[in-house]
């Protein structure tokens, strides 16, 4: 899987899909609000369906907008019907530590065959329990963990070992990426997927020395008058 794009912007998704370098998309209410989505759940639904159709068969994670137990059930079932490649995001617990969430996750995965991405997690132990509950994806917010003064790489290694040992289906998503380096180092540590904003993908592709080298090649070709032959000439010479 490797890289998911963290956005709700259609033009960005199209851009990187054409490059063949993303394997899914993640969104949340904050992202969609920044993209100017209005109209409440209808606005979210319209954009979600458009993205899901665009990236099919790759997964699209869409977050519920409530932490009420029945509300989470209702929204998750509704969202899952919007497209076959949708994964519903649910947080590990409520804002005051409410513990209904994993029960909701377990029932949706095991009784309703709805894929769940448990998010807002800051430790390997949270992710492990979410995986035990049946989650298809467990999202560890690596950048936030590092901001607290810890190195999330140790959590990634620990979690990957536990998932492999107990043969749990969950895939590890590392989110809240803070710098380009995080992508490779977190994948190497054992994450299945890292979510990135569009600017980070550009940062992974573009290197100042590559730019310098490309310009040198072009300058040398111009000085030596090395130019691409027109297609018609190339065909005459049997080169095309």
Q: Tell me the whole-structure pTM to 2 decimals.
A: 0.90
Annotated catalytic sites, by residue? 89
Whether the Cβ atoms of residue 52 and residue 13 lie closer than 8 Å to each other: no
pLDDT at residue 36, rounded to an integer: 85
Does domain 2-198 match CATH 3.40.630.30? no
* pLDDT recorded at residue 9: 94
Closest alpha carbon to 176 in 43, 53, 28, 42: 28
Name residue, tokens 């989470």: 72
C-alpha 203: how far from its chain's center?
Answer: 17
Average pLDDT, the chain: 93
User: In 3D, which of 191, 135, 121, 181 has the Cα closest to residue 158?
Assistant: 191
97 SS3 class: coil
| Burial class of residue 174, CB neighbours in 10 A (0-12, 13-18, 19+) | buried
pLDDT tens for each residue of 95-144: 999 999 999 999 999 999 999 999 999 999 999 999 999 999 999 999 99
Integer angstrom CA distances of residue 145 from 94, 109, 129, 174, 207: 19, 27, 18, 11, 28
C-alpha dihedral sign at 92, 95, 96, 100: negative
152 token code pair? 């999330």
- pLDDT tens readout for residues 49-93: 999 999 999 999 999 999 999 999 999 999 999 999 999 999 999
Nearest to 116 by CA among 133, 100, 99, 129: 133
Tokens, residue 201: 């993908």
Buried b (16+ CB within 10 A) or exposed e, 92-113: bbeeeeeebbbebbbbbbeeee
Q: Which two tokens stand for residue 104?
A: 């909701």
Whether 228 shows a pLDDT value over 60: the answer reads no
Categorize the per-residue pLDDT at 33 as very low, low, confident or very high, splitting at 50, 70 and 90.
confident
């Amino acid at each position: 899987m490797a890289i998911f794009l963290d956005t709700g912007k259609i033009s960005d998704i199209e851009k990187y899909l054409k490059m063949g370098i993303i394997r899914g998309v993640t969104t949340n209410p904050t992202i969609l609000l920044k993209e100017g989505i209005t109209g409440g759940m209808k606005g979210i639904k319209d954009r979600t369906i458009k993205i899901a159709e665009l990236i099919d068969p790759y997964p699209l994670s869409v977050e519920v907008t409530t932490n009420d137990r029945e509300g989470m059930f209702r929204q998750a079932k509704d969202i899952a019907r919007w497209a076959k490649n949708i994964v519903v995001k649910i947080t590990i617990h409520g804002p005051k530590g409410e513990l209904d969430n994993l029960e909701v996750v377990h029932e949706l995965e095991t009784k309703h065959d709805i894929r769940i991405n448990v998010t807002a997690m800051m430790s390997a132990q949270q992710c492990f329990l979410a995986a035990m509950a049946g989650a298809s994806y467990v999202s560890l917010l690596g950048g936030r963990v590092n901001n607290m003064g810890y190195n999330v790489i140790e959590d990634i290694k620990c979690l990957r070992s536990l998932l492999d040992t107990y043969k749990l289906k969950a895939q590890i998503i590392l989110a809240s990426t803070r710098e380009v380096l995080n992508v490779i180092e977190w994948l190497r540590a054992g994450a299945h997927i890292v979510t990135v904003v569009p600017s980070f993908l550009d940062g992974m592709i573009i290197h100042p020395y590559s730019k310098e080298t490309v310009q040198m090649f072009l300058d040398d070709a111009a000085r030596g008058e090395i130019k691409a032959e027109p297609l018609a000439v190339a065909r005459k010479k049997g080169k095309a």
